[in-house]
Amino acid sequence: MAPFVRRARPKYAAAPLSPACLHTLRVPGKFAARLAGGEAGAAVEVLLVSPLGKVWRAELRRAGSGGGPWQLGGGWAEFAAAHGVGAGWSVVFRVERRGVATVRVFDAAGCLARFCTPHAGVAAGKSRPRFIRVLHTDDFEKMKIPDEFVQEHLTGTYPSSQKAMIFSPLGKFWHVDLNRDQPGMLLGDGWARFLTAHNLSEGNILVFRYEENMVFTVEAFTQNGCLKEYGAAAADMTDDPIGQPSTVPQPADKELGVSPVKKKRKTRNGNTSLVVYHKKPNCSPNSVKKAVSQKKLVSTMPHRSFTKRITSYDLTSLFVVKGLFCSSVGLSGACEITLKMSTDNKRSWPVWFNIANTYGYIKGPGWKRFCRENKLEQGDCCTFSVIETTVWHVTIVSS
């Protein structure tokens, strides 16, 4: 199945802000060009939509005589002051359309700043919790989640949850161990592999959005604040469920034991957490022989999970499953499939499955009840992992 790479709107993360940035904020040329809509003038008026829904006018201009770097001024200082933005805070801009950007504000602790009263006439819709982090060398093995974020959003889940699930910019799910560090929490085993696979290093900026049940969506930004781009080739790198092969092409035998990043082995334990085994350099002949044997075994196993973005047709009519996937997991006719949330094995939803000419499909009241009780909406991403032919675990990430 072709890897799914999310295409996001242009964004710019300024983190953390220096005192000078509170008056004039330098903006990368790539982002400025998208916000300005290609206007070639030395100065362009733009609209900033605040977290309160109010619209502020600001000037996007080139420094110096018009040939310098792009800067945000002429209203930006007033915007920052009105929202209490100070040195050490962070902001993330998202282009909505030509000349218009929404702004998210993060406090000095890295948590999404809360504002009490929306602008008149603007609905105070639910905003999922977020925090921002600039990567430092201390974060490469373990990364601390802000204490304020843990206390407000995660204390009800932890310590019962020992793992977090990260939905990455590549459209893949990664499992990371949670280590308690009083009074906060650390992302531990699995985190370093996530950074390596996504080519993240010191100075990169990460924005975490908390979905629920210890599931996070992560956006990655380059050192200059622009949204990091990943191609289809990068999307093949995945931390697939244990016991299920990834879509990554298997390496040649002569490469075994050379690269710990490319030589991942995935297996599933009794739950749905992930364990990734790295091959180390200078492997003994016996370990290389064993790795070759494991590679042959994995290559014969069918791919047992897939990710799909939910459409209105999926919700109102039937949910289509590719015929090749159906045959690979042993589905050849009408049957009942039990759906379970990967984070909660106590509840289950029996759904009706059947086979058409070239595809399989799920439909009926059981499927609609699953969608309704899990608040599944158009645009949400679902990963279906086959535990047994008729038992599937589902992970949902809201759009």
CATH number of the domain bearing residue 17:
2.40.330.10
Instruction: Give me the mean pLDDT over the 103-125 stretch.
Output: 72
Q: Is residue 52 pLDDT above 50, yes or no?
A: yes
The angle formed by the CA atoms of residues 18, 109 and 200, to the nearest 5 degrees, is 75
Same domain, yes or no: 149 and 185: yes
Q: Which residue has the higher pLDDT, 7 or 243?
A: 7
Same domain, yes or no: 99 and 156: no
Show which of 248, 282, 299 is a domain's final residue.
Answer: 299
Q: Is residue 39 pLDDT above 90, yes or no?
A: no
What is 295-317 written as a DSSP string? Answer: HHHHHTSPP-EEEEE--HHHHHT
Same domain, yes or no: 341 and 318: yes
Is 275 part of a structural domain of the chain? yes
- pLDDT of 160 reads 56
Q: Is residue 256 pLDDT above 50, yes or no?
A: no
For the segment 325-367, what is each residue's pLDDT rounded down to a tens digit? Answer: 888 888 888 888 999 987 777 889 999 898 876 788 998 888 9
Same domain, yes or no: 326 and 378: yes
- Which of 59-68, 81-90, 101-110, 270-279 shows the lowest per-residue confidence on average (mean pLDDT)? 270-279
Domain count across the chain: 4
Q: Which stretch of DSSP H or E encloses residue 216?
A: strand 215-221
Is 232 part of a structural domain of the chain? no
Using CA atoms, how far apart are residues 91 and 207, in angstroms rounded to an integer? 11
Q: Is residue 239 pLDDT above 60, yes or no?
A: no
Is 127 part of a structural domain of the chain? no
Same domain, yes or no: 93 and 48: yes
Using CA atoms, how far apart are residues 279 and 248, in angstroms rounded to an integer? 16
**Secondary structure E strands in 227-365:** 264-268, 274-278, 305-309, 319-322, 335-341, 344-355, 359-363
Same domain, yes or no: 379 and 321: yes
- pLDDT of 288 reads 41
Using CA atoms, how far apart are residues 383 and 377, in angstroms rounded to an integer? 14
Same domain, yes or no: 270 and 318: no
Is 116 part of a structural domain of the chain? no
- Which of 36-45, 214-223, 333-342 shows the lowest per-residue confidence on average (mean pLDDT)? 36-45
Show which of 299, 333, 368 is a domain's final residue.
Answer: 299
How many DSSP H helices and E strands does the chain contain? 8, 23
Cβ atoms of 370 and 310 closer than 8 Å: no
For residue 258, the enclosing domain spans: 240-299
Same domain, yes or no: 21 and 91: yes
**Of the candidates 182, 147, 142, which has an alpha carbon nearest to the alpha carbon of residue 164?**
142
Same domain, yes or no: 312 and 392: yes
Q: Tell me the two tokens of residue 220.
A: 């990655």
Same domain, yes or no: 17 and 94: yes
Is 3 part of a structural domain of the chain? no
pTM of the model: 0.60
Is 248 part of a structural domain of the chain? yes
Is 142 part of a structural domain of the chain? yes
Is 52 part of a structural domain of the chain? yes
Same domain, yes or no: 86 and 17: yes
Q: Is residue 260 pLDDT above 70, yes or no?
A: no
Same domain, yes or no: 272 and 333: no
Q: Is residue 154 pLDDT above 80, yes or no?
A: yes
Residues linked to residue 177 through DSSP beta bridges, in sequence order:
163
The set of residues, in sequence order, having a beta carbon less than 8 Å from that of 314 and lying 6+ positions away, is 308, 320
For the segment 293-322, what is each residue's pLDDT rounded down to a tens digit? Answer: 333 333 333 348 899 899 888 898 889 898
